[in-house]
Amino acid sequence: MAPRYIAIHPEEVIWENMRIVWWERLVRIALTVAAITLMVIFWTVPVGFVGSLSEVDKLAERFPFLSFVNSLPDSVLAVIKGFLPAALLAALMALVPIIMRRELGLLFLLSFF
């Protein structure tokens, strides 16, 4: 029942012995924070679109090019308003870790040049 440590803590690393100098570490942190912030800002567009699918009948009243939605059968409209937004939002959220790994991996590789 003794405490166990899986990995070392950053405070335990002697950073002077590593290849990364202090300013490189700060630049990497800044680039990572900037990339994640931009992703959060731009991720609102697809999430907002998916969220608007749940109110597609109200959008059809406001925008005439969506008037065909009112002529759809109730079962199809129920799938579009109920199931489709949840499924697409789950797919979008599943993409976040994949994009983060690729994005942060690219930042990591670029830091060597």
Angle at 12 between CA 10 and CA 15, to 5 degrees: 70
> Six-digit token pair at 7?
């990995």
| CA 52 – CA 81 distance, rounded (Å) | 9
**Could you read off the pLDDT tens digit of each residue along the chain, which spans 113 residues?**
676 667 777 778 787 777 777 788 788 888 888 888 888 899 999 999 998 888 888 888 888 888 888 888 988 888 888 899 999 999 999 988 888 888 767 666 665 55
Kindly write down the DSSP assignment for every residue of 5-27, as one continuous string. -SS--GGGS-GGGSSS-HHHHHH
CB 18 within 8 A of CB 8: no
Per-residue pLDDT tens digits for 27-56: 888 888 888 888 889 999 999 999 888 888
Residue-level pLDDT at 41:
92
